[in-house]
C-alpha cells in the first residue's frame, strides 16, 4: 500500500504541475480602456508578402573605424574624445562585422530572414563627406556584403544615415548648416548609382528625432551640441529638406528602372492618454505624438509642420519676447516640394508612456521640452528591461500603429523593435523571447483586427552591439557577442528560435505553437485523473 500511496501522490503532484505549465502567460496589464481582450493572444498569419527582417547599423557593429581609407565620423570623434560614453567604450572594433560580415549573413540565413536592414557609413565611402573624394574600398565592402546576402536569398533594406556624419561635414556645422542638403543628396545619389539595382527598400534617416534632440539639443550624443530651444528646430528643418532632396533624386532618376521604395524611419513611444474619457488627456496624447512623429512626418506625408506645433511655438516665442517663431517656416514652394516624399513610414518603437496635459507654459528660458505642454511618465508596475527607458508594454505598439495608419495612410514598416538585457552572459533570454512573441502578436492584431497597412517587421538587433551612450552595457542582440574575445564569437540566444519559428509559420499557428503545451496539459489532466481514481479506489 505504501508504494501505491506514494504513486498516487506523485501522480497528483505531477498532474497539477503539468496543468499549470500548459498555460503560457503573456504580458497582461490592468485594463483602463474597457477592452477585456486587449492582452489576449491572437493565433493567425501575416499577409503572404509580409517581410521579416533584422537590423543593425554601421557604427554599432562594423568596427574598422579607420580601415581601408575610411574617414572619421562624428561618433569616432565623440567616443575618442572621452567622457561621453559609459566606460568610455567606442566602436573602433565593436562586433568586427567589417571582417565578419559573411558570418553575420550566415546567421540571418539560418533564421530564415529574407531581408536585412543595415546602414552605410557615409565616411567609409566619402571620407570627407563630399563627392569629390570617393573611397572605392568602402564601396567594395558594401558590394561584398550585398553579394553575400544575395547568395543567401537576403535582400537589403538600407539606411543612408544612422547617425555617423563625416566629421569633416560637422566641421562646417553639420546638420545645422543648410549646405548639408546638397551634400546629403550627393551622397544618396552615389548610393543609388552604386547599389540601387539591388536595393528594394531605402531609408534616408534613422530616428532624426534623436539626431536633433540628443545630438544638438542635449549633447548626450555626437556631435555633443547642447542648445535646446532653437537648434533642434533648425536642424530638423535641414534634415527634412535633405530627405526630400534625396527622395526626388531617387524618384526622378533611379526609381523608374530600379523599382525600389524610399521612406524615412521615425522613432516614437506610444503615448497613452491618462484618462481616455477626458478630452484634455486625449489632446495631450495626440500633442505628444505630433511634437515627436508629426514634426517630421507631417511635412513629408501631408505638407508642412503640424498646426498644433506652429500655433504653440509661435505663441510661446511671442510671449518669450522673440520677433519670430523658433519653429522655422517652410515657403509654399518648399511645402509642395516636400509633400509626398515618402513611399512608406518606417517605425522604430520599443515602449509606451502615459500622457497628461500640463498647464500652458509660456515662461523663459525657452525649451523644446516645454513646448508641447505634455507631462509623460511610465508606470512603475510595467515590467522593465536592461534599459531604464524601456518598459515592456506590448499593447502600445498596436495603438501606435493605429494612430500612424489613421494619421498618414501610407504603408508602414516596423524598422526596429526589440528589448535589452543587462551586460551578462545569458543565452536563455526569456524576457526577449516573451517580448518578441508579445509585440509581434500585437502587430498581427493591428493588421488582422484593425486593418492597418503594415508591410514588415524588423527585429532590433541581429547582434549585441555598441549601444551609443550606454556603451556595451545594454544588450539588444538575438545573438550574444563576447566583446572580450578577439574573435568576437557570436552565439545564438533562445530568442533566435522563437523568431525563426514565427518567420517559418509567417505568424502564430495554434497547433504548432501550443501543441506541446496541449500535450503536456493532457498528460497533466490524465495524471490528475489517475491520481484521483487511485485515491478513490484506495480510499486514501
Ligand X SMILES: *[C@@H]1O[C@H](CO)[C@@H](O)[C@H](O)[C@H]1NC(C)=O
The one among 26, 32, 103, 171 contacting ligand X by CB under 6 A: 171
Phi, psi at residue 212, to the nearest 5°?
-70, -40
Please report, for residues 65, 166, 171, 201, 416, the alpha-carbon distance to residue 123 in angstroms, rounded to integers and kept in the order given: 9, 5, 14, 21, 24
Annotated catalytic residue 136: no
Q: Which is the catalytic residue, given 148, 189, 272, 416? A: 416
Least spacing, CB of residue 356 vs ligand X, in Å: 5
- Partners of residue 53 on adjacent β-strands: 115, 458
From candidates 341, 461, 495, 528, binder to ligand X by CB under 6 A: 341
* Helices 136-151, 180-195: crossing angle, 10 deg rounding: 50
Q: Which is nearer to ligand X, 77 or 473 (CB)?
A: 77
Which residue matches cell numbers 551578462?
A: 424
Q: Put residue 125 in one of left, alpha, beta given phi > 0 → left and psi -120 to 50 → alpha.
A: alpha
- Classify 349 as helix, strand or coil: coil
Contact 166, 126 (CB under 8 A): yes
Q: Residue with C-alpha cell 565616411?
A: 123
Q: Which of residues 126-155 bind ligand X (CB under 6 A)?
A: none
Nine-digit cell at 137?
574600398
Considering only 340, 383, 469, 494, the residue that binds ligand X (CB under 6 A) is 340
261 in contact with ligand X (CB under 6 A): no
CA distance to 8, 33, 193, 405, 446, per residue, from 395 (Å): 43, 11, 41, 16, 10
Segment holding 474, helix H or strand E: strand 474-475
Minimum separation from the CB atom of position 66 to ligand X (A): 11
Q: Binding marks (x or -) toward ligand X, 278..307, rule CB under 6 A? A: x-xx--------------------------
What residues from 4 to 43 belong to the interface with ligand X (CB under 6 A)? Answer: none
**Residue 66 sits in the site that holds ligand X (CB under 6 A):** no
In whole angstroms, give the CA distance from residue 445 to residue 439: 10
461 cis-preceded (ω within 30 degrees of 0) = yes
Q: Which string of x and - marks every residue 239-258 that binds ligand X (by CB under 6 A)? A: ------------x-------
> Cβ contacts of residue 30 below 8 Å, gap of 6+?
381
The correct pick among 24, 47, 80, 144 for binding ligand X (CB under 6 A) is 80
| Total number of residues that touch ligand X (CB under 6 A) | 13
The residue from 357, 419, 454, 498 that contacts ligand X (CB under 6 A) is: 357
- Under the criterion CB under 6 A, does residue 179 sit at the interface with ligand X? no
Q: Is 77 among the residues that bind ligand X (CB under 6 A)?
A: yes
Give the whole-angstrom CA distance, residue 247 versus residue 174.
20
Q: How far apart are the first and last CA of the chain?
A: 10
Check residue 356 for interaction with ligand X (CB under 6 A).
Answer: yes
| Choice between 114 and 339, CB closer to ligand X | 339
Q: How far is the CB of 252 from ligand X (least distance, A)?
A: 7
- In whole angstroms, the minimum distance from the beta carbon of 79 to ligand X comes to 8
Residues noted as catalytic: 416
Footprint of ligand X (CB under 6 A): 77, 80-81, 167, 171, 251, 278, 280-281, 340-341, 356-357
Amino acid at each position: 500500500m505504501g508504494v501505491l500511496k506514494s504513486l498516487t501522490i506523485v501522480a497528483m503532484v505531477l498532474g497539477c504541475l503539468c496543468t499549470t505549465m500548459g498555460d503560457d502567460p503573456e504580458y497582461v496589464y490592468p485594463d483602463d480602456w474597457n477592452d477585456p481582450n486587449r492582452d489576449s493572444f491572437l493565433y493567425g498569419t501575416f499577409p503572404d508578402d509580409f517581410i521579416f527582417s533584422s537590423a543593425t547599423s554601421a557604427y554599432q557593429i562594423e568596427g574598422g573605424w579607420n580601415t581601408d581609407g575610411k574617414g572619421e565620423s562624428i561618433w569616432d570623434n565623440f567616443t575618442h574624445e572621452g567622457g561621453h560614453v559609459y566606460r568610455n567604450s567606442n566602436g573602433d572594433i565593436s562586433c568586427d562585422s567589417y571582417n565578419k560580415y559573411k558570418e553575420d549573413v550566415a546567421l540571418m540565413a539560418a533564421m530564415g530572414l529574407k531581408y536585412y536592414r543595415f546602414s552605410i557609413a557615409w565616411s567609409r565611402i566619402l571620407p570627407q563627406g563630399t563627392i569629390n573624394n570617393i573611397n572605392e574600398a568602402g564601396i567594395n565592402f558594401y558590394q561584398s556584403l550585398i553579394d553575400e546576402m544575395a547568395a543567401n536569398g537576403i535582400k537589403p533594406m538600407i539606411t543612408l544615415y544612422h547617425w555617423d556624419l563625416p566629421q569633416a561635414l560637422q566641421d562646417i556645422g553639420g546638420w545645422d548648416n543648410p549646405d548639408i542638403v546638397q551634400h546629403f543628396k550627393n551622397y544618396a545619389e552615389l548610393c543609388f548609382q552604386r547599389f540601387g539595382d539591388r536595393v528594394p527598400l531605402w531609408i534616408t534617416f534613422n530616428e532624426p528625432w534623436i539626431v536633433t534632440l540628443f545630438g544638438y539639443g542635449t549633447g548626450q550624443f555626437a556631435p555633443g551640441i547642447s542648445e535646446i530651444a532653437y537648434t533642434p528646430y533648425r536642424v530638423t528643418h535641414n534634415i527634412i529638406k535633405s530627405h526630400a532632396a534625396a527622395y526626388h533624386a531617387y524618384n526622378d532618376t533611379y526609381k523608374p528602372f530600379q523599382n525600389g521604395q524610399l521612406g524615412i524611419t521615425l522613432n516614437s513611444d506610444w503615448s497613452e492618454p491618462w484618462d481616455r474619457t477626458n478630452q484634455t488627456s486625449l489632446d495631450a496624447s495626440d500633442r505628444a505624438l505630433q511634437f515627436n512623429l508629426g514634426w517630421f512626418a507631417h511635412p513629408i506625408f501631408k505638407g508642412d509642420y503640424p498646426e498644433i506645433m506652429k500655433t504653440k511655438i509661435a505663441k510661446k516665442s511671442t510671449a518669450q519676447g522673440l520677433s519670430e517663431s523658433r519653429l522655422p517656416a517652410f515657403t509654399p514652394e518648399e511645402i509642395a516640394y516636400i509633400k509626398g516624399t515618402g513611399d512608406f513610414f518606417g517605425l522604430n518603437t520599443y515602449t509606451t508612456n502615459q500622457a497628461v496635459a500640463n498647464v500652458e507654459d509660456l515662461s523663459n528660458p525657452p525649451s523644446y521640452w516645454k513646448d508641447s505642454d505634455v507631462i509623460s511618465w511610465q508606470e512603475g508596475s510595467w515590467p522593465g528591461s536592461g534599459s531604464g527607458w524601456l518598459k515592456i508594454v506590448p499593447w502600445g505598439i498596436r495603438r501606435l500603429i493605429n494612430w500612424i495608419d489613421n494619421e498618414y495612410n501610407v504603408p508602414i514598416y516596423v524598422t526596429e523593435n526589440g528589448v535589452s538585457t543587462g551586460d551578462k552572459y545569458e543565452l536563455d533570454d526569456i524576457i526577449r523571447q516573451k517580448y518578441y512573441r508579445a509585440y509581434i502578436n500585437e502587430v498581427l492584431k493591428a493588421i488582422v483586427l484593425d486593418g492597418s497597412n503594415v508591410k514588415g517587421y524588423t527585429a532590433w538587433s541581429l547582434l549585441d552591439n555598441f549601444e551609443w551612450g550606454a556603451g556595451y552595457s545594454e544588450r539588444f542582440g538575438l545573438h550574444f557577442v563576447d566583446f572580450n574575445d578577439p574573435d568576437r564569437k557570436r552565439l545564438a540566444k533562445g530568442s533566435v528560435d522563437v523568431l525563426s519559428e514565427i518567420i517559418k509559420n509567417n505568424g502564430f499557428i495554434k497547433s504548432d505553437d501550443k501543441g506541446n503545451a496541449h500535450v503536456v496539459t493532457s498528460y497533466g489532466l490524465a495524471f490528475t485523473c489517475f491520481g484521483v481514481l487511485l485515491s478513490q479506489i484506495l480510499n486514501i
